[in-house]
Amino acid sequence: MQHIKNYINGQLVEPVSKSYLDNYNPATGKVYSYIPDSDEKDVEIAYAAAKAAFASWSVTSKDQRSKYLLKIAALIEKNLDKLALAESIDNGKPLKLAKTVDIPRAAANFHFYGTGILHYASHAHSMEETAINYTLRQPVGVAGCISPWNLPLYLFSWKIAPALAAGCTVVAKPSEVTPMTAYLLSEICIEAGLPAGVLNIVHGLGGKVGNAIVSHKDIPLISFTGGTVTGKHIASVAAPMFKKLSLELGGKNPNIIFADCDYDKMLSTTIHSSFSNQGEICLCGSRIFIERKLYDKFKNDFVAKTKELVVGNPLDDKTRVGAIVSKGHHEKIMSYIKLAEEEGGKILCGGKIVKGAGELAEGYYIEPTVIEGLAYNCRTNQEEIFGPVVTITPFDTEEEALMMANSTVYGLASVLWTQDLTRAHRVANLIHAGIVWINCWLLRDLRTPFGGVKASGVGREGGFEALDFFTEPKNVCVKLS
């Protein structure tokens, strides 16, 4: 069976401990490869390599850095099929999704920042004849990048690409649950000729490797995407060390559907925004609020469409809902479905474990689930489930919809469906979220600020915001006379 390796100082290496963790295929529930069980010793070696590489990478021209990133993007595109298959097996997501979304987006991330850095400029502030100020933007140093399991290469590269473009070197940790494409990325970086130590990938557990990165006294910046509880812990360690922090955390996103929406477009998009990637996208809308006069029609049509979704083998072209990423997460989602029933919810469809056939018999499958009849402020409607489970709730007025939408501790993304432009802008202005989609979902322009408010995070990724994050501004004031 394959043993994944760490990528440190340009080499594929074993963990210092020589011990490995099991890596499961969620479609079968079987171990199919092994992951380095690295610890702070590996992080220290990676840090030393990154620090040494920083001396030259930080002064490598933007043109040259751009060329490396574009080469990595091209190699990701060239290896699309291999990477998509690896992502599907590692994560349980439908192969089709990995081929059309995850891997193309990972290539786009490198492409975007490989070109974006060429257009990144800093400011100058003239004091007329007295003086001129200009701002240098200098790479911060060795960046610590930690990413989750739901969109493995997509989110891993969303951090690494801007960090490298900005001139930082990186010590990165992918989720131990889905390490495979990060490993394949290290092979790609070697093929692209990326200088040794510029990117270092250390595999292993959050409590060991993640913690060693976050608490490392000489890593001045942490870019983290993951759960809110983990984010809170990371902030408590990093903030007293005055580290720069970007935290992209959990969500409990509302979809608000007004009766005047473009119904067919809304219905098909709401199926995607509910169940894509088994509902394991931080941007999925898990609380659906429907104007009462549309409620019954929506309920019947939505449930009928949900029942049509094929659940099963991620590698099968017909599959729309694959396997849940891990046994532990499968149990967590099922416990929330039980809680929803205890809280008085009525399961309109789904709610059960799906048993696969043959080698899929031990896989982690759940029927896409629609629940109604819950109070907006019950636990099921307030806590992040992160699975193929949505609740539907009617509303009478715009104010009521907004009150319910804004009632959670989260504020990541939101979706509005209406043909009334004035109302769309008014509600967009009042909703507590970092991202509002009007009459669409997951339409992404990589130049836009990406992130959440309240317990959904601190800071923004995307566009020049990420390059600002990975650089430190320094103002230089020149007296003219």
Name the residues that contact ligand NDP, by CB under 6 A. 146-150, 155, 173, 175-177, 205-207, 210-211, 214, 225-227, 230, 233-234, 248-251, 282, 384, 386, 412, 452, 456-457
CB-side exposure of 67: number of CA atoms within 13 Å? Answer: 8
DSSP assignment of 47-70 equals HHHHHHHHHHHTTS-HHHHHHHHH
Q: Which two tokens stand for residue 263?
A: 């119904």
Q: Which of 168, 282, 367, 372 is catalytic?
A: 282
The 8-class DSSP code of residue 231 comes to: H
Residues linked to residue 37 through DSSP beta bridges, in sequence order: none
Helical (H) or strand (E) element with 222: strand 221-225
Query: For helices 180-192 and 103-116, what crossing angle results, to 10°?
Result: 40
Q: How far apart are CA 97 and CA 102, in angstroms?
A: 7
Of 37, 68, 414, 92, the residue nearest 212 (C-alpha): 37
| Inter-CA distances, 316 with 36, 56, 272, 277, Å | 30, 47, 18, 14
For residue 435, the minimal CB distance to ligand NDP (Å) is 9
Single-letter amino acid, residue 422: T
Q: What is the distance in angstroms between the CA of the first residue and the CA of the last residue of the chain?
A: 71
CA-CA-CA-CA dihedral for 91, 97, 103, 104, to nearest 10: -170
Q: Is 342 annotated as catalytic? A: no
Q: How far apart are CA 353 and CA 368, in angstroms?
A: 10
SS3 92: coil
Q: Which two tokens stand for residue 348?
A: 């309109």
Q: Which of 87, 176, 248, 367 is catalytic?
A: 248
Question: Of 75 and 435, which CB lies nearer to ligand NDP in the complex structure?
Answer: 435
**Biggest distance spanned by C-alpha atoms of the chain:** 82
SS3 409: coil
Query: What are phi and psi for residue 444, nearest 5 degrees?
Result: -115, 130
Helical (H) or strand (E) element with 198: none
Q: Is 383 annotated as catalytic? A: no
Q: So which residues are the catalytic ones? A: 248, 282
